[in-house]
Structure 1
Amino acid sequence: MFLIQRLEKVYKDGLAKSIGVSNFNVSQMERILKIATVPIHNLQVECYLYLPQNELVDFCKKHNILFTGYCPIGSPGRFSCTGKGVEFKHTPNPLEDALVKKLAEKYHKTPAQILIRHLLQRGLSPIPKSVNEKRIKENWDIFDFELDANDFKQLNSFKNQYRLAFWDFVKGHPEDPFKDERN
């Protein structure tokens, strides 16, 4: 909790306009909110079709914390660019999910656009990553359509199944946010 006190000092000194944390779970967020004197403005965590983080999203909405989701399309290029200390599990590719592909065809969009739009319609801030100029432009081309209620409901039916990154460098640490999910 030393970290939050340091972040609050930076905020109170006028060196930051907001405070955010990353890769915290509900339990950690609850503990922070009990001692915080400055509101937490943002939580950034992995969030995509197969890890919708519903409990964490609900917590953030209840406490007026912006929820930013990284890996919104399932990070299909992750195996070619992983750094030291990052273990990625082999998981199904949400870009190949039958429902996502069906909706992409229905809306004349790419599967990535369907996945990004879904998170946006949930009230979240998806942050897709790409180094490909064409895909970067496609990722922004999501504001000219909305998923209808039935399609949105179908995408919302997915539960937490697959975490992509387990951050090995925190394994064994008392504040490991993923300790309950590790094998």
Structure 2
Amino acid sequence: MDSLQLYFRAFVILTPPILTEIKSAGALQAQVSQGQSPIGWAVDIIDFKHSHSVNLNDGHSMPVLGFGTHASKEIPKSKAAEATKIAIDVGFRHIDAAYYYENEEELGQALRDKMVDRSVKREDLFYTTKPGEELMPEDANGKVILETVDIRDTWEALEKCKDAGLSKSIGVSHFNHKQLELILNKPGLKCKPTCNQVECHPYLNQSKLLEFCKSKDIVLVVYSALGTQRDPYWVSSDSPYLLEDPVLMTIAKKHNRTPGQVALHYQLQRGVVVLAKSFNEKRIKENFQVFEFELTPEDMKAIDSLNRNFRYSKISFALDHPYYPFLEEY
């Protein structure tokens, strides 16, 4: 284990087998049995007293506003590190990352630098990662190679990570309600998922999935809350620009806020953990100001009415996989 990893423990999110970079549950279990961490970095999860947090079903807590670190491949990895330092200076204490983003080394150094200069303490940070072993392998024709791995087996491997002290909390991503039930109804289940990270914004408000998760004491964590960064690998070029929606712009003007701040606060007011991603210093500061105002019931109703079940990231390369999560209503 290198020195950066000594600073952190892990919060791990499991993606469905069609998306995970883990080839098999056995590979993950092998790493655990050898005393190796299958993840990059993460944190001891302690309530950050200067920000709002939500209690997880395992007794830990998660700041309700997180900083997203994914960037398209043309953006230098150093930009993610620089933005993370700015985010910490602004007040973010929840950092969302993944092995797939290929910038965890830079993020780890950024976090270490901020601890060394005493901007933040180790125990103040909440770091989320998604474990991996191989990045999107492709065949000779450029088609992503997919495998079918039983979700319950992979979940059991993550439980072993938690038992081994490699993770404080474990959760899932992109799961529909039937996939969540597969885990919840698993014989011998030790740990419920603490959260489910999904795409969610006014055009895809995930109201039914949110209610299901609340009924099971699972926190919904949302990405693409501001629409999307429009990476052509994931998102169609003709997708609508969420932050140019007239309803959001009207509400933003009424509150003397930006449409982005309204979209973020909308999620917080629904009881959702929201991730805000920007590498622009001005916007990072604006995104952290979302606790400074409230939306009226009329505002919330108007934003609710924007829902059109529109998904920016359809993960089309996995459409034919038996675990493709988006064929269910929620």
For residues 226 and 178 of structure 2, the distance between their equivalents in structure 1, rounded to whole angstroms, comes to: 26
Q: Does 1:109 align with 2:257?
A: yes
* Secondary structure of residue in 2 paired with 1:103: helix
Q: Distance in 1 between matches of 2:204 and 2:279?
A: 23
Give me the identity figure in percent. Answer: 39
2:211 is matched with 58
Partner of 1:115, secondary structure, is helix
1:128 is displaced (CA, Å) by 1.6
Deviations 1:76-116 (A, max 9, x none): x313xx44xx3446322221111100001000000000000
- Tell me how far apart the structure 2 counterparts of residues 102 and 28 of structure 1 sit (CA, whole Å): 38
For 2:304, the equivalent position in structure 1 comes to 156
Supply the AA of the counterpart residue of 2:162: Y
CA distance in structure 1 between the aligned counterparts of 2:276 and 2:202, rounded to whole angstroms: 13
- 1:43 is aligned, of 169, 173, 196, to 196
2:253 & 2:277 partners in 1: Cα distance? 23
Q: Which residue in 2 is equivalent to 1:7?
A: 158
Match of 1:133 in 2: 281
Aligned counterparts of 1:158 and 1:57: Cα–Cα separation in 2: 17
1:78 and 2:226 are equivalent in the alignment:
no
Instruction: Give structure 1 stretches of 5+ with no counterpart.
Output: none
Indicate yes or no: 2:299 matched with 1:147: no
Moved over 4 A (4+): none
TM-score (norm 2): 0.51
CA RMSD of aligned residues (A): 1.7
Cα distance in 1 between the residues matched to 2:317 and 2:194? 26
C-alpha deviation, 1:180, in angstroms: 5.0
Paired residue total? 176
Q: Distance in 2 between matches of 1:73 and 1:158?
A: 14
Deviations 1:18-49 (A, max 9, x none): 11111111111111110132111011000001
CA distance in 2, matches of 1:8, 1:169: 29
**Structure whose residues are more often strand by fraction:** 2
Structure 2: segments with no counterpart, 5+ residues: 1-151
Tell me the equivalent position of 1:33.
184
Partner Cα separation in structure 2 for residue 6 and residue 100 of structure 1: 43
Q: What is the CA–CA distance in structure 1 between the aligned matches of 2:246 and 2:279, rounded to whole Å? A: 26
Distance in 1, matches of 2:214 and 2:308, equals: 18
Distance 1:146 1:20 in 2: 29
Q: 1-side partners of 2:170 and 2:293: how far apart?
A: 32
Structure holding more helix per residue:
1
2-side partners of 1:37 and 1:53: how far apart? 27
* CA shift for structure 1 position 153: 1.9
State the alpha-carbon separation in 1 of the partners of residues 248 and 227 from structure 2. 12
Q: Which one has the largest radius of gyration?
A: 2
Q: Deviations over 1:92-150 (max 9, x none)?
A: 22211111000010000000000000001000011021111111111111111000111
Relative distance call for 1:160 and 1:8 in structure 2 (3 A) is: farther
Question: Does residue 1:20 correspond to 2:180, yes or no?
Answer: no
Counterpart-to-counterpart distance in 2, 1:163 and 1:107 = 28
Q: Which amino acid aligns with 2:157?
A: R
Distance 1:105 1:72 in 2: 19
Shift of 1:158: 3.3
SS at match of 1:74: coil
Aligned residue identity for 1:94: L
What TM-score do the two structures reach when normalised by structure 1?
Answer: 0.89
Q: C-alpha deviations, 1:40-83, integer Å up to 9, x for none? A: 101100000100011110111111111110000101x313xx44
Give the Cα separation in 1 of the matches to 2:271 and 2:289: 17
Give me the whole-angstrom Cα distance separating, in 1, the residues matched to 2:192 and 2:311: 28
Question: Would the aligned equivalents of 2:230 and 2:237 in 1 still touch at CA under 8 Å?
Answer: no
